[in-house]
């Protein structure tokens, strides 16, 4: 991913700025931007290019913003050969958060213009921290903007736990100031916007689950298909956690009418790199259909000798009266950057509507 901010991206930025600014020192910018660029990771590359831009753009941020604000007019026309990724626009957008923080009116107007090129969700967060009232005033207007990218920024910008972005601790503790904005967007015609609203609400569920449930209950009244979609995706973390109120909210009843669930592991001795293969059979004893959300959890061994569960989606279905369902799954136990594996006893668990219905242990060997 970091290679999307390489030499081709730098050259593209230089071509665009040269067209807008006849005195732009293209060679100086490219030399500064490419000097040592290869050694950096993605976000470090963003800052490195921003610093190179600052050496050639006007020192006065308002003047620089006037130039950068015209970038959308030439961005696509200058990209006729290289097919530059949208990542190339990231340094141009984040320039505002580095050098324009003291001028929020100028900076936010610039971010609104540039967010269609590459979301300004990271750049706007320092302004939310430093100029909350002004940002909320702008968001209240942007929520009605014709451009879906601008409307999405209203939702994505103040997300409490935005991946890759700085956390907004104030919104983690009390996310209510953003709720009127999300409510306005809960029937947005754009899936791009609706997905952001759902992700924002899912963030809220991690720290304020009762508030999230209250919001969804309120939205359910006369809800459109768009709003129902948002509710379903906004509650996904609580569904995986088996939160009883959320399961009932979505129509999954906690009282299950099932025969004993049969769980079978193909192998109970695994090595890192193998696949955990299993099947489970679920039979209904009900005279009515049952809405089921079926997950599986792997209780991974940790360094302290204790197990910690990670829940994965398996199937969502309506189980007919007296029907039997058999599910097969092949799950890779492979090295990934986000998990450290430890040898020892692990446990596979089947969850139906948040309730544990079957489990079986397996041994995992991890090379030294």
Q: How far is CA 13 from its chain centroid? A: 27
Domain spanning 262-365 has what CATH number?
2.60.40.10
Closest CA to 115 of 193, 186, 14: 193
Output the tens digit of pLDDT for each of the chain's 368 residues. Answer: 788 899 999 999 999 999 999 999 999 999 999 999 999 999 999 999 999 999 999 999 999 999 999 999 999 876 554 467 789 999 999 999 999 999 999 999 999 999 999 999 999 999 999 999 999 999 999 999 999 999 999 999 999 999 999 999 999 999 999 999 999 999 999 999 999 999 999 999 999 999 999 999 999 998 999 999 999 999 999 988 888 899 889 988 778 899 878 999 999 999 999 999 999 999 999 999 999 989 999 999 999 999 999 999 999 999 999 999 999 999 999 999 889 999 999 999 999 988 899 999 999 999 98
Domain spanning 132-251 has what CATH number?
1.25.40.290
> Is 177 strand, coil or helix?
helix
Q: How far apart are CA 32 and CA 28, in angstroms?
A: 6
Unique residue bearing structure tokens 């050694």: 39
Q: 140-169: buried (b, 16+ CB within 10 Å) or exposed (e) per residue?
A: eebbeeeebbbbbbbbbbbbbbbeebeebe
* Cβ contact 41:68 at 8 Å: no
* Cβ contact 197:186 at 8 Å: yes
């Amino acid at each position: 991913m970091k290679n999307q901010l390489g030499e081709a991206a730098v050259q593209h930025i230089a071509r665009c700025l040269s067209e807008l600014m006849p005195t732009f020192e293209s060679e100086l910018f490219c030399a500064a931007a490419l000097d040592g660029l290869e050694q950096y990771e993605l976000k470090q590359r963003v800052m490195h290019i921003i610093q190179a831009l600052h050496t050639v753009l006007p020192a006065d941020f308002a003047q620089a913003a006037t130039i950068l604000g015209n970038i959308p007019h030439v961005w696509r026309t200058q990209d006729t050969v290289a097919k530059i990724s949208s990542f190339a626009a990231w340094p141009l957008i984040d320039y505002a958060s580095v050098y324009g923080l003291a001028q929020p009116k100028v900076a936010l107007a610039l971010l609104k213009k540039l967010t269609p090129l590459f979301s300004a969700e990271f750049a706007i967060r320092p302004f939310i921290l430093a100029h909350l009232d002004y940002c909320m005033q702008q968001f209240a207007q942007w929520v009605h903007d014709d451009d879906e990218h601008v409307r999405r920024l209203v939702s994505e910008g103040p997300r409490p736990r935005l991946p890759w972005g700085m956390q907004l601790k104030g919104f983690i503790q009390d996310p209510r100031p953003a709720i009127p904005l999300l409510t306005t967007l809960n029937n947005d015609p754009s899936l791009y916007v609706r997905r952001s609203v759902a992700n924002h609400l899912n963030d809220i569920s991690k720290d304020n689950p009762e508030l999230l449930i209250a919001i969804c209950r309120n939205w359910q009244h006369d809800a459109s298909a768009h709003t129902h979609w948002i509710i379903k995706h906004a509650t996904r973390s609580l569904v995986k956690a088996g939160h009883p109120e959320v399961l009932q909210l979505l129509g999954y009843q906690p009282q299950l009418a099932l025969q004993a669930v049969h769980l079978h592991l193909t192998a109970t001795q695994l090595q890192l790199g193998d696949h955990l293969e299993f099947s489970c059979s679920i039979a209904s004893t009900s005279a009515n259909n049952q809405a089921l959300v079926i997950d599986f959890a792997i209780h991974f061994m940790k360094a302290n000798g204790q197990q910690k569960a990670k829940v994965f989606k398996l199937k969502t279905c309506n189980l007919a009266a007296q029907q039997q369902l058999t599910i097969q799954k092949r799950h890779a136990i492979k090295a990934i950057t986000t998990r450290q594996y430890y040898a020892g006893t692990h446990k596979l668990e089947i969850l139906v509507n948040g309730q544990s219905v079957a489990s079986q242990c397996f041994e995992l060997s991890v090379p030294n």
